[in-house]
Amino acid sequence: MTAPVALITGASAGLGVDFARQLSADGARLVLVARRLDRLETLAAELGNARAVALDLSAAGAAERLLADLAVHGEHIDLLVNNAGFGAGGKVAELDAARLRQMIDLNCGVLTELTALALPGMVERRRGGILNVASTAAFQPGPGAAVYYATKAFVLSFTEALHEEMRGTGVHVTALCPGPTATEFFDVAAYGQSTNLEKFAMASAPVVAAGLAGVSVNQPVVIPGIVNKVGAQGHRLLPRAILRKVAKLVH
């Protein structure tokens, strides 16, 4: 029997690397996608059952080019891990507007497009999985990282709706909502090393394991860690005016 193909975006660092290692250990064939070819090739060589695709997914037409690349290699997607994305810390008025638009396009637009391109084949085969990496940021507004929080709210809402649309089709759809995680995220987001968020960071590997376990049983939302589970329920317990102030403090 041919090993299932897992496509992982943002595979060159952080959660993406752990997704690759854990899926490889489970016997999947991997397609690793990110901009940094050197990192991807090093990871692919380590795993032995992966190939690297260097691609800037935020570029126009990138998702379609990626699916065409898979077709050339005779591959179809059995599991899509939409992990690519980034954040930016700071007040909206002080950040670069083009960079914010790029964040929305990557965190939301590319994720949606890849999902829409992958789903028809999964539905036809009556099997497959979509694992979208959201965040506990999805559950409240985030002054100091407003656009990032908003993109993750989109990912969560989109994924939950898609989970219901796919009910009965054999296709599993899961939103992984980690809290702060020990990756390169904080450096890219320019929060700085003193951020309060980093003090509560989980290791990457257990976050990934929770996400993969969740999509395997078609769990709609996975929140790894007790602290994150409790924190994500703040919107049910506190007025939004207080949530906004709390979120502002941690940045």
CA–CA dist 39, 51 (Å, integer)? 12
For residues 15 and 204, the answer to whether their CB atoms sit within 8 Å is yes
Query: Which residues lie across from 119 on neighbouring strands?
Result: none
- Taking each continuous run of H as one helix and of E as one strand, the counts in the chain are 11, 7
First and final CA of the chain: distance in angstroms? Answer: 49
Task: Please report where in the chains the tokens 């992982």 appear, as a residue.
Answer: 8
Phi and psi angles of residue 173, each rounded to the nearest 5 degrees, phi first: -135, 125
Bridge-based pairing of strands 221-222 and 171-176 is parallel
Closest CA to 215 of 134, 143, 114, 154: 134
- Out of 19, 139, 148, 158, the active site residue is 148
Task: Please give the structure tokens belonging to residue 22.
Answer: 């854990």
**Residue 148 annotated as catalytic:** yes
Please, are residues 210 and 224 in contact by the beta-carbon 8 Å criterion? yes
Q: Which residues are catalytic?
A: 148
